[in-house]
Structure 1
Amino acid sequence: MTTPAYLTQHQNRFLEELMDWLRIPSVSADPKFHGDVLRAADFLKARLEEAGAANVELCSTAGNPIVYGEYFVGPDRPTVLVYGHYDVQPADPYELWNSPPFEPVIQDGNIYARGACDDKGQVYMHVKALEMMLRDGGAGVPCNLKFMFEGEEEVGSDNLGIFVKANQEKLKADVILISDTGILANDVPSIEVGLRGLSYHEVEVTGPNRDLHSGLYGGAVLNPINALCDMISSLHDADCHITIPGFYDNVAELSPAERAELAQAPFSEADFKQSIGLPAAVGEKGFTTPERTSIRPTLDVNGIWGGYIGEGAKTVIPGKAFAKISMRLVPHQTSDEITALFQKHFASIAPAGVTVQVRPHHGGEPVVTPTDSAAYRAAAKALTTTFGKAPVPTRGGGSIPIVAMFKSELGLDSVLLGFGLDSDAIHSPNEHFGVFNFLKGIETIPEFYKEYAAAR
């Protein structure tokens, strides 16, 4: 497919606008960035209006606003609800970035900045796709469009659920289009048809009523950090199997034929290891690396702290130790079920000498999207047109909890038409998004609308 003339003519401006947006540190997890989150919402609202959307508004919630806009063609056309998020992950640790996370740079064909891929860059593809369809002899918009971009995805989307429940008529549509996922490679397009769920917790292990001198008290009291490490270690056995009783009871096991179909997706174990600097890939016995990261549940420690971590030495037995622990879930596990199992089990393995508190944070449900729908076929045709080859259906290892919520509240399936790469380092230092991928997304999204309208 020949790149649209409007895209070629204006791509530098599109990139400059995205860079301006990336300079706004819209970190939803840290209250000190609250003003910046609001500035990011204002920026997006203005750009949507400039692109041609109507009825653009900032919808208030108990937290960060939802940016909403519309473009209507006619009652005889299908309606696509486009979802994304403008908040980003914290950029810590800053010292591991090769360039400041909120001073975006383009290097080696990539845009480096926090949020470049997740999800500002991918949201902005939709804004510019609308502009391109409406400008300079563009083909126009063949579908009715509704845009809903939230500012709390990285902290659980609690207020989005409330907004959706209260605005079901406003959000009425035929399908939801989401670009918060990726493709296998720039020469291997793909569509994610499954996502894992999430159960996330913070645990607190308490020992003595204050930090103690490790010489005077060492050997006579249980160190909470030691206890926490032992407890965490016990959560897996030698085969990397999670030891929480009942954890696997409802796990959907794929048939040999289904596993063989998933194995058709290109994957290099050597490249995987090299890309993250590891000598070996390890995980649950009996499953391949791609299966471990997609169709199997996991448990990981996301952070651990306690005691003295400053310069030099301070010989103490700390009074408390903490960890953040997350579990990725697969069909037919539920976040409520796994949260309850984890709370009960973690409290039960606490040794004498410490007490344990488990505080659940946010969760989300696993989901599998249909591959026989008009929307999926439209996405596949669109990618085939712009990439020159048919996409591969894949299952993603990440979580987008609102996909299941959209299904339960609005009765709508989602199409996960993302353009990131696994190597884009989302949630990590040096996050980036390929210029190729950004522009290819702008090129592909109108093709999806065209194919979807034709199929309805």
Structure 2
Amino acid sequence: MTLENTLSRIDTDLDAALERLKTFLAIPSISTDPAYKPDCDRAADWLVANLQEIGIDAQKRPTPGQPMVTAHVDGPEDAPHLLFYGHYDVQPVDPLELWTQPPFEPIIADGPNGRIIQARGASDDKGQLMTFVEACRAWKAEHGTLPFRITFFFEGEEESGSPSLVPFMEEHADELRADLALICDTGMVAPGVPSIASQLRGMLKDEFTLIGPARDLHSGHYGGPGLNPLREMAHIIASFHDPETGAVAVEGFYEGVEDISDELRRQWEGCGFDEKDYLGAAGYSVAHGEKAYSTLEQQWARPTLEINGLWGGYQGAGTKTVIPSEAHCKLTCRLVGDMDPDALRLKIRKHVEDRLPADCTVRWDQSLDGSKASVMDVTRPEFERARTALTDEWEREAVFTGMGGSIPIAGFFKSILGMDSMLIGFANEDDSIHSPNEKYDVESFHRGIRSWARIMDKLSG
């Protein structure tokens, strides 16, 4: 049997695949709300039955929260062993009144760029998860077996913090460990531009309070000679960045950061990303970060220090002539490369403490944590084979991209199982994930299935 047979079967079976997806989407598997616990169980049962229907021995595995779904498929002894991850839980649907149709009554409709399937979970992540399952269905129908060993691993708590994920992975590490993890929970950098996310930024969180006078003071009595923590906080916040270059001015902040390669920069420059649209959608006219780097480089490959909350003193209506006793700040850093969140936290705290004037002290929140960035080894042959497969399907050069945010599961695969991850998704920016009227383009679903079949063919060769 040839790859063309499998692709032809995918094309012929598209309407049936869409009906299966609609059945899956109709299950309101909202993991964060205990009222939907039975529906999460039902979604897991549906996945088990769907895999068993195509001859894959799947199981529903209990956890203290929502169940996991696992399955293992044997393959040739010299073939690679791949793990495929997705999640079957979805976000809540509020505000319900903004939906144009009930969120768990999926419809196929005309969208601005072709047909769409609209329902909660269509893009995040049921539609994406099913692209791989449907590729396996078509491959098995044509070949009788799958081309390599596959472990399916589907969780039901991704949208509610994955509290059961790490304990389950640690307990079953030997069962889950494979040569490479495949994750389909990402998107394309621009419509029709296939993308493999190869680096995800990490995170550092911190919070501090500046303490000045022993109590709030009358500004008429102490205004002038009295230290004002809000004013001192403003000085410190302003000192975090160089006003000329936009770079973070904390000493040692960029330790572990490297510039991207010329080849990666070439891919990003030609990937179809529209900076004007991207900035304009948020109400910006120009980029405001590090002046030496493009918008995509700032978003994907550069670290940041952001102030997320700043408060103190009187917050009510009218005026209260007060010098507050305290001022408060919440901050986060997005990390790249080999930046160490624990070492960086110490550098940021030193930066603050070195700038404290007399009669001002600082109190740090000791409960916050951080995680390193995930950087994939794209020199592994699987990555270039997958990129070639995507390029063949979409007739457009596939690109290695970064992600400004984080996908924790990729970090867990690395830290717990010692596995690299390949993140390939077919969502578009306008899919409205987590929002009313979530949708997934039928083209994304169809060509996503075909893409996975091509990738399976390339990785098995």
Structure 2 length-normalised TM = 0.78
Amino acid aligned to 1:48:
V
SS across alignment from 2:365: strand
Q: 1:242 to 1:35 in 2, by over 3 A?
A: farther
Q: Which deviations, in whole Å up to 9, do the C-alpha atoms of 1:370-421 show, x marking residues without a partner?
A: 3343422342243234323341222332222443442344332221111123
Q: Which deviations, in whole Å up to 9, do the C-alpha atoms of 1:1-58 show, x marking residues without a partner?
A: 657245422144234234324x43334xxxxx24546743551343233232424122
1:446 aligns with 2:448: no
1:200 aligns with 2:205: yes
Matches within 5 A, 1:379-418: 379-418=386-425
Q: Contact 1:38–1:65 at 8 Å: present in 2 too?
A: no
Q: Which deviations, in whole Å up to 9, do the C-alpha atoms of 1:408-442 show, x marking residues without a partner?
A: 44332221111123444556777654333233323
Q: Contact 1:85–1:152 at 8 Å: present in 2 too?
A: yes
Q: 1:314 to 1:34 in 2, by over 3 A?
A: farther
C-alpha deviation, 1:450, in angstroms: 2.6
Amino acid aligned to 2:452:
I
C-alpha deviation, 1:316, in angstroms: 9.0
Q: 1:168 to 1:286 in 2, by over 3 A?
A: same
1:60 aligns with 2:63: yes
Q: 1:329 to 1:443 in 2, by over 3 A?
A: same
Q: Contact 2:385–2:459 at 8 Å: present in 1 too?
A: yes
Q: Distance in 1 between matches of 2:117 and 2:314?
A: 38
SS across alignment from 2:425: coil
C-alpha deviation, 1:123, in angstroms: 2.6
Q: 1:307 to 1:256 in 2, by over 3 A?
A: same
Amino acid aligned to 1:393:
F
Q: Contact 1:113–1:431 at 8 Å: present in 2 too?
A: yes
Q: Distance in 1 between matches of 2:212 and 2:180?
A: 52
Q: Contact 1:199–1:364 at 8 Å: present in 2 too?
A: yes
Q: Which deviations, in whole Å up to 9, do the C-alpha atoms of 1:138-188 show, x marking residues without a partner?
A: 765322221223355567657534433332320132211011222223322
Q: Contact 1:116–1:433 at 8 Å: present in 2 too?
A: yes
Partner residue in 1 for 2:51: 51
Q: 1:437 to 1:3 in 2, by over 3 A?
A: farther
Q: 1:268 to 1:389 in 2, by over 3 A?
A: closer
When structure 1 is superposed on structure 2, of 148-157 and 45-54 the one drifting more is: 148-157
When structure 1 is superposed on structure 2, of 71-80 and 384-393 the one drifting more is: 71-80
Q: Contact 2:103–2:437 at 8 Å: present in 1 too?
A: no
SS across alignment from 1:201: strand
Q: Distance in 2 between matches of 1:41 and 1:159?
A: 15
Q: Distance in 2 between matches of 1:233 and 1:225?
A: 12
Q: Contact 1:265–1:392 at 8 Å: present in 2 too?
A: yes
Q: Distance in 1 between matches of 2:315 and 2:93?
A: 21
When structure 1 is superposed on structure 2, of 108-117 and 94-103 the one drifting more is: 94-103
Between the two proteins, the alignment pairs up a number of residues equal to 443
Q: 1:350 to 1:56 in 2, by over 3 A?
A: farther
Matches within 5 A, 1:334-373: 334-346=340-352, 349=355, 352=359, 355-359=362-366, 361-373=368-380
Partner residue in 2 for 1:70: 72
Q: Distance in 1 between matches of 2:38 and 2:58?
A: 19
Q: Which deviations, in whole Å up to 9, do the C-alpha atoms of 1:55-78 show, x marking residues without a partner?
A: 4122425x6554323333454543
When structure 1 is superposed on structure 2, of 428-437 and 293-302 the one drifting more is: 428-437
1:180 aligns with 2:185: yes
Which structure 1 residue ranges, 5 or more long, are not aligned?
28-32
Q: Contact 2:431–2:440 at 8 Å: present in 1 too?
A: yes
Partner residue in 1 for 2:131: 125
Q: Distance in 1 between matches of 2:296 and 2:331?
A: 22
When structure 1 is superposed on structure 2, of 174-183 and 157-166 the one drifting more is: 157-166
1:271 aligns with 2:298: no
Q: Distance in 2 between matches of 1:260 and 1:357?
A: 42
Amino acid aligned to 1:395:
G
C-alpha deviation, 1:222, in angstroms: 7.0
When structure 1 is superposed on structure 2, of 94-103 and 160-169 the one drifting more is: 94-103
1:169 aligns with 2:174: yes
Amino acid aligned to 1:418:
G
Q: Contact 1:205–1:357 at 8 Å: present in 2 too?
A: no
When structure 1 is superposed on structure 2, of 228-237 and 101-110 the one drifting more is: 101-110
Q: Which deviations, in whole Å up to 9, do the C-alpha atoms of 1:111-154 show, x marking residues without a partner?
A: 5666543444423433444444456x676532222122335556
- Calculate percent identity across the aligned residue pairs: 32
SS across alignment from 1:170: helix
Q: 1:449 to 1:259 in 2, by over 3 A?
A: closer
Q: Which deviations, in whole Å up to 9, do the C-alpha atoms of 1:224-243 show, x marking residues without a partner?
A: 76665654443223132112
C-alpha deviation, 1:83, in angstroms: 1.8
Q: Distance in 2 between matches of 1:205 and 1:97?
A: 42
Kindly name which structure, 1 or 2, has the bigger radius of gyration based on alpha carbons.
2
Which structure 2 residue ranges, 5 or more long, are not aligned?
1-6
C-alpha deviation, 1:366, in angstroms: 1.9
SS across alignment from 1:267: coil
Q: Distance in 2 between matches of 1:89 and 1:219?
A: 50
1:290 aligns with 2:290: no
Partner residue in 2 for 1:40: 40
Q: 1:200 to 1:207 in 2, by over 3 A?
A: same
